[in-house]
Amino acid sequence: MRKLLFSVSFIAAAAGGVAAAAPQGSGAITGLWSTGSQGGRVEIYRCGAAFCGKVADAAPLRANPDHRDVKNPDKALRDRRLKGLVVLHGFAGGPSEWKGGPLYDPEAGEGAAKGYLALRGDGKLEVKGCKAAIFCRTKVWTRVR
């Protein structure tokens, strides 16, 4: 099975150093998150009453800032720029767990209808995307700021 969500090199980042303490309250997940490899980062922000996340940076984007969503299965969307692309949408809940979706992996051109975010005690964020109840992938993100 192809990699699902957030095994993405475009939105993955190396987590250098110790995670900052996570802020408490309704905006506990807002900020910039490192997601695993290649220097990528996702910014989580308020979008109405929910939370969304967009691609903020990645090594491939520094090499080509105009990089496009070329692996999208919808040919009409392949011209979208990856920088600023919303990859998490409509997450609600808190103070330590949120549910929402859809989620999107631009490297694989795959999405997940449902997602789950869980703020761990160590300040890291577990990001889980599911295509179906048994087809899920979880990654751990580290807060940058």
Which tokens is 13 given? 């980042």
What gap in Å lies between CA 123 and CA 132, rounded to an integer?
Answer: 28
- Residue 79 has a pLDDT of 95
- Count CB-CB contacts under 10 A for residue 18: 9
Does the pTM exceed 0.75? yes
Distance CA 6, CA 118 (A): 15
pLDDT tens, position by position, 40-75: 899 999 999 999 999 999 888 999 999 999 899 999
Name the residue ranges covered by the structural domains of the chain. 31-143
pLDDT value for 125: 95
From residue 16, alpha-carbon distances to 32, 34, 64, 83 in Å are 13, 9, 23, 22
pLDDT by residue, tens only, the chain of 145 residues? 333 333 333 333 323 333 334 445 556 899 999 988 677 899 999 999 999 999 999 888 999 999 999 899 999 999 999 999 999 999 999 999 999 999 988 777 888 999 999 999 999 999 999 988 788 989 899 999 8
pLDDT of residue 111: 87
pLDDT at 106: 79
| pLDDT computed for residue 4 by the predictor | 35
Task: Give the separation between CA 71 and CA 109, rounded to whole angstroms.
Answer: 5
Q: Distance between terminal CA atoms of the chain?
A: 33
What's the CATH number for 31-143?
2.40.128.520
What does the pLDDT read at residue 134? 81
